[in-house]
Structure 1
């Protein structure tokens, strides 16, 4: 078993409060509570603290998520972070959400895929994305990957956020509001099973929102970084499986980060991948071979590890 991490409350308060890490403590940017990034960051931190050696330690911090994390690396607020393939490419090019300029990041490793959970309570009249017009929708935190995905999908349906009443909530709060009937639908870009959706499913029958005819194919044609993913019905106890859109995730670091440190972090994770998989359900979906097929180049330290 892993050594215990620092108390969750202290960790959650680190980001966006001006707190800084000690010289030998690396902060890993994750996302809001209730998704998959925070538990993954926590499990990675446990491995690094146990096996990286040379005084290298890591602590997970709550952030806005995959869109914000490259910016946090750029500003020095975190030293390593999780994002997805599509956003990593946009960040290195300085386009999309990163129009202030290119961000000098490199890939450390491939992680689990994230999928866009589009969930309503069973019995809702919302069947497809088009039915969200006029509805109250939890869209994840501002700056998170969920909102980025929605801003990609909605225009394909000739829609925008203005067609609904959006609530910018953490995944935990969004799905709690869904369970309480305070929103009509909840969205979350997360690995599965997502803690927030599991919590909502514990006391409620859930259902996936579907893509209307041809719309998923249209989305996949518009961006080749995305993929169709089927979430089995037994994951959240739904009546039927959900066909959703997803993207692969990666661990990123500043291109300038010391290569020896990156190599030790990578070794701490992938030399003990069985431990990671035992601790974290999403880690079971990690394929080490994918780390040499990422959308941006590997950091020198990670390349040393994967190419040896």
Structure 2
């Protein structure tokens, strides 16, 4: 090999290393295993890695869930994350779970699937309504997840508090395993549907949804306009009856100081390849691009630039 060729090869190698080193890795905060956030984050990462260009990569991170994720953005532990409409508003205002952190400067990137509060018992359980959880052992998801926030919202409406149950703070997978092996009396999980952990539990056990007493679901939705009533059909988990549950719409969020061009590329990767995302992820089939223009917080400048161009 001549000196000139050696020089060219070496230069090419250095340029290649430089290009690899300059690639921006985005960590996307999801939730615990067994819910819908982690698979959604994984699927989003796949389309971003495939379509956002060589300068951007994305990797899903297991987290406590929708409550914790804005705080992880604030601390710089993730660059982008999934949360829900209600929590995004609280985070930008620095109230509720974010009082200690203070206002978090995040913008919306995309509307995602809705999450519903799965409230599940074994089919032969004596627990029929939410009030029947009093005195029972209940899996409520990780301490930093959205399930506990929902539960703490519902308890006062039912003249109850967290002290009225024996909570088990575990992942959704562990929570439904505890339900089927009899360690807990009920398992709750704020997740899109179908939720993997619940699908696995339903494969080996007969399950049933806990009901709201007459008028209580309406009262809950009226008490917080971010929440919606969601029907989960019986064939989703093989239950005898559909579940009439409470839910909330989710969104992808990012700090407003994250480079606008980066966020625009991520947004384009998602929505320009939505069919590919939906083919990989069942929850993604519930994504309506139009909902991204009507979210509870303003769009990130990069996401706004993408939608302005459509």
Q: Distance in 2 between matches of 1:49 and 1:220?
A: 38
Cα offset for 1:112?
A: 0.3
Secondary structure of 2:190's counterpart equals strand
Secondary structure of 2:201's counterpart equals helix
Secondary structure of 1:229's counterpart equals strand
Secondary structure of 2:290's counterpart equals helix
Cα offset for 1:259?
A: 0.4
Equivalent runs, 1:180-259 vs 2, <5 Å: 180-259=181-260
Q: Distance in 1 between matches of 2:54 and 2:194?
A: 35
Q: Of Structure 1 and Structure 2, which has the larger fraction of its residues in helix? A: 2
| Larger-Rg structure | 2
What TM-score do the two structures reach when normalised by structure 1? 0.92
Cα offset for 1:299?
A: 0.5
Q: Distance in 2 between matches of 1:221 and 1:285?
A: 24
Number of residue pairs matched by the alignment = 288
Secondary structure of 2:116's counterpart equals strand
Aligned to 1:146: 147
Equivalent runs, 1:85-164 vs 2, <5 Å: 85-100=85-100, 101-164=102-165
Q: Distance in 2 between matches of 1:219 and 1:134?
A: 22
Secondary structure of 1:115's counterpart equals strand
Aligned to 2:292: 291
Cα offset for 1:80?
A: 0.2
What TM-score do the two structures reach when normalised by structure 2? 0.92
Structure 1 stretches lacking a partner, 5+ long: 1-21
Q: Distance in 2 between matches of 1:208 and 1:307?
A: 42
Please give the per-residue CA displacement for 1:106-129, whole angstroms capped at 9, x wherever unaligned.
000000000000000001000011
Q: What CA RMSD, in Å, does the superposition of the two structures yield over aligned residues?
A: 1.1
Contact 2:23 2:54 in 1 (8 A): no
Cα offset for 1:54?
A: 3.8
Please give the per-residue CA displacement for 1:126-165, whole angstroms capped at 9, x wherever unaligned.
0011100111100000010000000000111010111011
Q: Could you list the runs of 4 or more consecutive aligned residues of structure 1 that deviate by over 2 angstroms after TM superposition? A: none
Aligned to 1:178: 179
Q: Distance in 2 between matches of 1:272 and 1:133?
A: 46
Aligned to 2:3: none
